[in-house]
Amino acid sequence: MRIAITGSSGLIGRALVRRLRADGHDVVRLVRRPPAAADEVAWDPQGRRLDPAALAGCDAVVHLAGAGVADHRWTAAYKREIRDSRVLGTRTLATALAALDEPPRVFVSGSAIGYYGDTGDRRTDESAPAGTGFLPEVCVDWEDAAAPAVDAGIRTVFARTGLVVSRSGGAWGRLFPVFRLGLGGRLGDGSQYWSFISLHDEIAALRHLLTAEELSGPVNLTAPEPVTNRQATAVMGRLLRRPTLCTVPAPVLRLALGEFAADVLGSQRVVPRRLLESGFTFAHPRITDAVRAALAE
């Protein structure tokens, strides 16, 4: 297949490009700068500019671009960047796809389990409604921005991804150096659920979505058994052979992270019902498996 990808410089995008090329696919990377290689195509998501002709002949498009949620403190300006980078980019891409005489068969558009907000200890699948707060609102607008592709009859899948366990980047990637120094520990009281997925399974799931014709709409990309922050901390300490005596009290997190602390302390027990029903098999279903896989990267 000929597959176009945005966000190819990110953690998931880099790994997906490598895997798709190893599978023999022709990959086109959309970049926000002048193209520097034959496989690159320029686009301007903020300016809403993308020549539909650049996507001609593509069988599938995977959209992963967006500003990192945890990269900066949530000022009003950065919250606007988080939202705009997702909503404007998705709308620009979906509009270009809808304009093609022969659009791709599938559009896999990145989303996040932030859609559900704080779910407490309730097991939550794709049938659950959106939560309340900044991240759920962003996710709703993010997915709604794909409407031109949906209206054009393109099979559109919203890949609602959880916490990706990897040493190579992302939020979890920042935990490994802290735990190696023996400074890892619970965040708050540690009772909040973390819905994780190994990087390997994230890439395998995205590849699965490209060919699983029965899947459209939201699909949770999380391992089958979410764990609490307390459980994840224990596994990290055991596998890294480091103590986990440090804790970060909730008030300190709120002082350090501002509004984002509510999401760090919030609980999301999200399960991948639709992915499992479609026949997908996880290589790393348990947190121990996922952390071991990350250590082997």
Kindly write down the DSSP assignment for every residue of 174-190, as one continuous string.
THHHHHHTT--EEETTS
User: At 205, which CATH number?
Assistant: 3.40.50.720
Residue 99 confidence (pLDDT)? 95
How deeply is 52 buried, as exposed, middle or buried, from its count of CB atoms within 10 A (0-12, 13-18, 19+)?
Answer: middle
Does the residue 202 lie in any domain?
Answer: yes
pLDDT of 262 higher than 80: no
pLDDT of 252 higher than 80: no
Contact indicator for 80, 103 with CB cutoff of 8 Å? no
- Whole-structure pTM value: 0.94
Q: Which residues pair with 217 in a beta bridge?
A: 157
Does the residue 242 lie in any domain?
Answer: no
Residue 46 confidence (pLDDT)? 87
Tell me the two tokens of residue 23. 């599978």
Does the residue 217 lie in any domain?
Answer: yes
> What is the band of 259 on the pLDDT scale with cuts at 50, 70, 90?
confident
Of 5-14, 39-48, 190-199, 258-267, where does mean pLDDT reach its minimum? 258-267
pLDDT of 97 higher than 90: yes
Residue 2 confidence (pLDDT)? 97
Phi then psi for residue 59, to 5 deg, are: -85, -25
Number of domains the chain is built from: 1
Does the residue 258 lie in any domain?
Answer: no
Tell me the two tokens of residue 55. 């996507």
Share of the chain above pLDDT 90, in %: 83
Does the residue 33 lie in any domain?
Answer: yes
What domain range includes position 36? 2-165+196-222+267-282
pLDDT of 265 higher than 90: no
Q: What is the mean pLDDT of residues 190-210?
A: 97
Does the residue 188 lie in any domain?
Answer: no
Does the residue 26 lie in any domain?
Answer: yes
Residue 24 confidence (pLDDT)? 97
Burial 2-31 (b: 16+ CB within 10 A, else e): ebbbbbbebbbbbbbbebbeeeebebbbbb
Phi then psi for residue 28, to 5 deg, are: -110, 125
Does the residue 6 lie in any domain?
Answer: yes
Residue 65 confidence (pLDDT)? 94
Question: Packing angle between helix 199-211 and helix 287-295, nearest 10 degrees?
Answer: 100
